[in-house]
Amino acid sequence: MSTTGPNQNCDRNRLSIHSMPCLRCGTCCSKFDVRVSMDEAHRITDRIGITWDEWMNSYINDRWPGTESFILRRHNGKCIFLKEKGEQSLCSIHSFKPSLCIEWNQGPQHKECQQGLQKRWGIVVDNSGTLNGTQQALHCYRAFLKSLEGD
Ligand code: SF4
């Protein structure tokens, strides 16, 4: 997921943004069924070093026929490739994740991103796309953005 920086136009309890990076909250990876093409499936199995049988038995949703494409399996309600690291939820196949995941364009307009902001920092997005929260919450959010620099 691509990352872009926030607009610096902010006051004490509001932060106006045009875009935002992936929050690493895992919300979208917990909500959507991800369809994977046959080519993508072969690429993933090659990169993570598993056999085709392992892929078929452990990584895909067996309710999907899987003749031309697959649906990634969920584990504990989340994509099987989503891993928790501290407060963050990270894609363990980020550099070769499926095209559907690449095309997901995070931003304050998505309810999943709004839920991530609310869950992690208690920040609410209003109708104009402005982030509203306590001074401390917005400070923590800015600290998170800073921590992504150089990623
Ligand atoms: S493949 Fe990665 S980005 Fe896509 S849903 Fe799974 S964890 Fe999320």
Q: Of all protein residues, whose CA lies closest to atom 8 belonging to ligand 1? A: 29
pLDDT of residue 12: 56
State in Å: Cα 136 to ligand 1 middle: 30
The residues, ordered by sequence, that sit 6+ positions from 132 with a Cβ below 8 Å of its Cβ are 13, 14, 123, 124, 125, 126
Q: Determine which of 46-50, 65-69, 129-133, 145-149 has the lowest per-residue pLDDT on average.
A: 65-69
Q: What is the mean pLDDT of the chain?
A: 89
User: Residue 18 Cα, ligand 1 centroid: separation in angstroms?
Assistant: 24
User: What is the rounded average pLDDT of the residues 34-39?
Assistant: 96
Residue 151 above 80 pLDDT?
Answer: no
34 lines ligand 1 (CB under 6 A): yes
pTM: 0.84
Residue 142: the pLDDT is 92
User: Looking at residues 20-43, what average pLDDT do you find?
Assistant: 95
- In this prediction, residue 20 carries a pLDDT of 86
Q: Which whole-number Å values give the CA distances from 84 to 3, 31, 102, 129, in the listed order?
A: 20, 16, 20, 28
Spacing, Cα 29 to ligand 1 middle (Å): 5
**Residue 43 vs residue 149, higher pLDDT:** 43
* Residue 9: predicted pLDDT: 47
| CB 80 less than 6 A from any atom of ligand 1 | no
pLDDT at 19 over 90: no
Q: How far is the CA of 122 from the centre of ligand 1 (A)?
A: 24
Ligand 1 atom at minimal distance to the Cα of residue 81: 7
